[in-house]
Chains A and B, each alone.
Chain A
């Protein structure tokens, strides 16, 4: 189920003096099973772009094609893509509302009009995927810890069995252990469940480690679209967008500047380690 943005443009503000083009003529195709990292500084239009992709807001011009179908066409029933494209917003735990964890996770599939057994099967599956044990099912979601709430909220989207999963900074405000858990889960969804993942993150290290392909958005425009290695080769360009390199790549650049002849295209800790060892052995 490929998802395509076709000359997408979105403009904020009815007041004529305060118009901002949040998304400016973006065209991109995302194929099945890809892990996309979406980066851009605050206010660059990432969140708006995601909302357009999931059909939550209507574009000024251009359109989104899911499976080749125009989701903004007049006859198209937007409700039908809710089960296909899942979106996890920033601080998704703020959307929890039911009395128990289990009921909350059932909300999505229930809206899809599924049978009771199927709803419960999906909820259990989603909750076990995010690592929530059965004794938590009957608790109120408001009694859980921050990390647990976040995982329950993600399960609430997963239970709809989406083919495409969009996550807007799912690790914001979590501790390192919580971050790792969430990112590990996202990777599992992509590699094992074959979901298409679009992950927004402010951490260059995270996108460098997990993504197959990185989209860089600057001022509403698609500035770069390439593999992580290629993207992080554009140091000056990234810095002009208010972004930076992953920590390890920065360290490698510093090493090279101080006279150690390392190759600076390492973007993960493991790559950097092998590269440094290789140079040291010489």
Chain B
């Protein structure tokens, strides 16, 4: 029951995207996500989708595997769609009690689904193609300037990589404890909520104890191997930019430029077109689209 945790999972493959510097991927994902929220028109989304599609093809991860990770957010999407469709004010085409469906609502829901899918796929590509270690290395390098303000960047990065490393260990441990307590008659899969809540304590207490034990062991092992924090610590694989990283940055800048240009021109263009075709059928379609 705990084996389906896909958070931060890495998918081993040999691709350009896998080899990219983690800093490029972090910056890229961050800027890409922002770009999805800046403009709200279909053409910008098409450009974003094309870029994402190119990355998907380049990263050599089976589409099916990638979509499997999205199952968890389908609930949120359905929720967003239902609320947008039922509660958006606008030209009403069907209504019932407090619910009203409008064209504007349908459009909002549609855009929401596109936006969320792009968002989640882009984030999952980053974690799927980057090992947690490289990810934290990248974060550490990017936030290194904050050290001037006494922010313990290295320590945060170390904590994050340990936390990520412990997810599979603890989920395995939880699985074992669930089985042991089930054998002693605990009802984890009972339909009654009270049974399930009651069976949580026999799971959580041993899990916490084992987490503390593992943490103490790990701390001891790290100290025994000479770990003393980030000062003066060098890397076995230092991050260095290669040609592909500079190319990726260029592509990223071009993408941002394209989105901004498209966004601005199309908002002007549609404003002009709307004025021109006002009160015609074509104008109505346009005003729905944009």
User: Counting CB contacts under 8 A, is B187 at the interface?
Assistant: yes
User: Counting CB contacts under 8 A, is B179 at the interface?
Assistant: yes
Chain A residues whose CB sits within 8 angstroms of the CB of B65 once the complex forms: 15
Per-residue interface assignment for chain A, residues 90 to 119, with 1 indicating a CB less than 8 Å from any chain B CB and 0 otherwise: 001011110000000001101110000000
Find out whether the CB atom of B182 lies under 8 angstroms from the CB atom of A157.
no
Q: Is the interface of B mostly helix, strand, loop or mixed?
A: helix
Find out whether the CB atom of A142 lies under 8 angstroms from the CB atom of B180.
no
Find out whether the CB atom of B185 lies under 8 angstroms from the CB atom of A87.
no
User: Counting CB contacts under 8 A, is B202 at the interface?
Assistant: yes
User: Counting CB contacts under 8 A, is A215 at the interface?
Assistant: no
A212 to B230, CA, bound (A): 59
User: Counting CB contacts under 8 A, is A196 at the interface?
Assistant: no
Find out whether the CB atom of B209 lies under 8 angstroms from the CB atom of A142.
yes
User: Counting CB contacts under 8 A, is B183 at the interface?
Assistant: yes
Which residue on A lies nearest to B3, using beta carbons?
A14
Q: CB within 8 A of A86: which of B177, B179, B183?
A: B183
Find out whether the CB atom of B179 lies under 8 angstroms from the CB atom of A156.
no
> Given A97-B202, A108-B184, A111-B185, do A89 and B176 touch, yes or no (CB 8 Å)?
yes
Which residue on A lies nearest to B208, using beta carbons?
A97
Whole-angstrom distance from the CB of A139 to the nearest CB of chain B? 16
Whole-angstrom distance from the CB of A47 to the nearest CB of chain B? 10
Find out whether the CB atom of A56 lies under 8 angstroms from the CB atom of B206.
no
User: Counting CB contacts under 8 A, is A197 at the interface?
Assistant: no
User: Counting CB contacts under 8 A, is A79 at the interface?
Assistant: yes
User: Counting CB contacts under 8 A, is A201 at the interface?
Assistant: no
Whole-angstrom distance from the CB of A264 to the nearest CB of chain B? 40
Find out whether the CB atom of B184 lies under 8 angstroms from the CB atom of A157.
yes
Find out whether the CB atom of A83 lies under 8 angstroms from the CB atom of B183.
no
Chain B positions 7-30 with a Cβ under 8 Å from a chain A Cβ: none
Find out whether the CB atom of A56 lies under 8 angstroms from the CB atom of B182.
yes
Find out whether the CB atom of B184 lies under 8 angstroms from the CB atom of A89.
no
Find out whether the CB atom of A107 lies under 8 angstroms from the CB atom of B179.
no
User: Counting CB contacts under 8 A, is A51 at the interface?
Assistant: yes
Per-residue interface assignment for chain B, residues 195 to 208, with 1 indicating a CB less than 8 Å from any chain A CB and 0 otherwise: 00000011001100
User: Counting CB contacts under 8 A, is A54 at the interface?
Assistant: yes
> Given A107-B202, A142-B209, do A94 and B184 touch, yes or no (CB 8 Å)?
no
A260 to B65, CA, bound (A): 64
Find out whether the CB atom of B183 lies under 8 angstroms from the CB atom of A82.
yes
User: Counting CB contacts under 8 A, is B284 at the interface?
Assistant: no
How many B residues touch the partner, as a band?
10 to 19
Find out whether the CB atom of A79 lies under 8 angstroms from the CB atom of B185.
yes
Chain B residues whose CB sits within 8 angstroms of the CB of A108 once the complex forms: 184-185
A97 to B181, CA, bound (A): 10
Find out whether the CB atom of B187 lies under 8 angstroms from the CB atom of A111.
yes
Chain A residues whose CB sits within 8 angstroms of the CB of B184 once the complex forms: 82, 95, 107-108, 111, 156-157, 160
User: Counting CB contacts under 8 A, is B250 at the interface?
Assistant: no
Which residue on B lies nearest to A142, using beta carbons?
B209
Chain A positions 38-79 with a Cβ under 8 Å from a chain B Cβ: 51, 54, 56-57, 79
Whole-angstrom distance from the CB of A92 to the nearest CB of chain B? 7
Find out whether the CB atom of B186 lies under 8 angstroms from the CB atom of A111.
yes
Which residue on B lies nearest to A87, using beta carbons?
B183
A85 to B206, CA, bound (A): 23
Find out whether the CB atom of B183 lies under 8 angstroms from the CB atom of A112.
no
Find out whether the CB atom of A82 lies under 8 angstroms from the CB atom of B185.
yes
Find out whether the CB atom of A157 lies under 8 angstroms from the CB atom of B210.
no
> Given A79-B187, A83-B185, do A94 and B177 touch, yes or no (CB 8 Å)?
yes
A112 to B183, CA, bound (A): 11
Chain B positions 40-75 with a Cβ under 8 Å from a chain A Cβ: 65
Find out whether the CB atom of A92 lies under 8 angstroms from the CB atom of B205.
no
Find out whether the CB atom of B187 lies under 8 angstroms from the CB atom of A89.
no
Which residue on A lies nearest to B177, using beta carbons?
A95
A95 to B185, CA, bound (A): 13
A86 to B182, CA, bound (A): 11
Which residue on A lies nearest to B68, using beta carbons?
A14
Find out whether the CB atom of B206 lies under 8 angstroms from the CB atom of A94.
yes
Complex A-B: 17 CB contacts under 8 Å:
A51-B179, A56-B183, A87-B180, A92-B180, A94-B173, A94-B176, A95-B180, A95-B202, A97-B206, A108-B185, A111-B184, A111-B185, A111-B187, A112-B185, A142-B209, A156-B184, A157-B184
**A residues engaging B (CB < 8 A)?**
15, 51, 54, 56-57, 79, 82-83, 85-87, 89, 92, 94-97, 107-108, 110-112, 142, 156-157, 160
For the complex of A and B, 7 pairs with smallest distance between CB atoms: A111-B185, A97-B205, A95-B180, A108-B184, A82-B185, A87-B183, A56-B179
